[in-house]
């Protein structure tokens, strides 16, 4: 089953695309595991998970006892000794929740230092992502922040496609170029671009012409319904049929590459 990582500059629509793809694949009877790897987690809301379902999800980085039990060190402790190879195989099912065919796991926030820190919670998360990508049989959608620190060498090879979301603007396009270089450095070859919040052909052309070396697999139109969905805490998938169609074209594009 494909493992898809979604990245890009802040606010470009990574989580929106992740939620759309998750439901599209679930509707095609795929078993979908969505992973919220953004420290500022909000994929549950983008998926419109009801509160009682979302409440069953425990962000892994905040499970102090678990981190201590698995790594032998207390979270927040820098240096010192901890296991680099902690047991993680039981974590995905225990701390996630499922809704409408999408199982959601939330990585949570590492205090201080972030995912790059040399601390037990970072070691556990990295190992967990590695396990998920290499051992799980579901279709995986990984909603990441702009940095791709969760993916080390050795793990990156298990990513079948990295989607970099951009919007029609210089900043996100530059971020996309940086990310694609980092991705190539750690061995991810399949990098694709999705242009979001496009208002017409001029925006599509601008994105295409700005990224001549990258493969663009589709566009999502700017839509007031996306904002409305966010405001109401419901999924775009349920609110905006046009975005669903556009995201389906992106899913088709992925399987054709």
Ligand X SMILES: Nc1ncnc2c1ncn2[C@@H]1O[C@H](COP(=O)(O)OP(=O)(O)OP(=O)(O)O)[C@@H](O)[C@H]1O
* Residue closer to ligand X, measured from CB, 153 or 231: 231
Closest CA to 221 of 206, 199, 240, 241: 199
* Residue closer to ligand X, measured from CB, 15 or 180: 15
Which part of the chain contacts Mg ion (CB under 5 A), choosing from 30-38, 86-94, 105-113, 231-239?
Answer: 30-38
Write out the DSSP string of 77-113: --SS---SS---TTHHHHH-EEETTEEEEE--PPTTT
How many helices and strands in the chain, by DSSP H and E?
Answer: 11, 8
CB of 15 to ligand X, least distance (A): 3
Which positions touch ligand X (CB under 6 A)?
A: 8, 10-16, 38, 196-197, 220, 222-223, 226-227, 230
The beta strands (E) that lie in the chain are given as 3-8, 32-36, 97-99, 102-106, 139-143, 161-166, 191-198, 215-221
CB of 18 to Mg ion, least distance (A): 8
Partners of 191 in the β-ladder: 162
Residues 38-57 that bind Mg ion (CB under 5 A): 38
* Residue closer to ligand X, measured from CB, 66 or 164: 164
Which part of the chain contacts Mg ion (CB under 5 A), choosing from 12-20, 190-198, 215-223, 233-241?
Answer: 12-20
Assigned token pair, 234: 């419901």
How far is Cα 135 from Cα 3, in angstroms, rounded to an integer?
11
Binding mask 127-146 for Mg ion (x = CB under 5 A): --------------------
Binding site for Mg ion (CB under 5 A): 14-15, 38
């Amino acid at each position: 089953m494909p493992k898809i990582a979604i990245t890009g500059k802040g606010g470009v629509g990574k989580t929106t695309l992740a939620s759309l793809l998750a439901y599209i694949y679930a509707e095609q009877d795929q078993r979908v595991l969505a992973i919220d790897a953004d420290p500022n987690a909000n994929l549950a809301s983008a998926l419109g998970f009801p509160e009682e379902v979302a409440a069953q999800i425990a962000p892994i980085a905040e499970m102090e006892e678990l981190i201590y039990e698995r790594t032998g060190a207390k979270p927040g402790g820098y240096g010192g000794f901890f296991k680099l190879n902690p047991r993680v195989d039981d974590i995905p099912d225990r701390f996630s929740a499922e809704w409408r065919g999408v199982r959601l796991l939330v990585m949570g926030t590492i205090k201080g230092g972030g995912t790059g820190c040399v601390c037990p919670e970072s070691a556990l998360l990295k190992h967990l992502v590695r396990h998920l990508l290499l051992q799980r049989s579901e279709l995986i959608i990984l909603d990441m922040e702009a940095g791709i620190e969760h993916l080390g060498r050795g793990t990156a090879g298990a990513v079948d496609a990295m989607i970099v979301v951009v919007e029609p603007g210089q900043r996100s396009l530059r971020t996309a170029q940086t990310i694609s270089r980092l991705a190539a450095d750690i061995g991810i070859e399949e990098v694709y671009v999705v242009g979001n919040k496009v208002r017409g052909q001029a925006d599509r052309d601008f994105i295409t012409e700005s990224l001549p070396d990258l493969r663009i697999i589709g566009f999502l139109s700017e839509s007031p319904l996306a904002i409305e969905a966010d405001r109401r805490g419901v999924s775009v998938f349920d609110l905006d049929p046009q975005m669903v169609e556009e995201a389906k074209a992106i899913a088709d594009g992925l399987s054709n590459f």
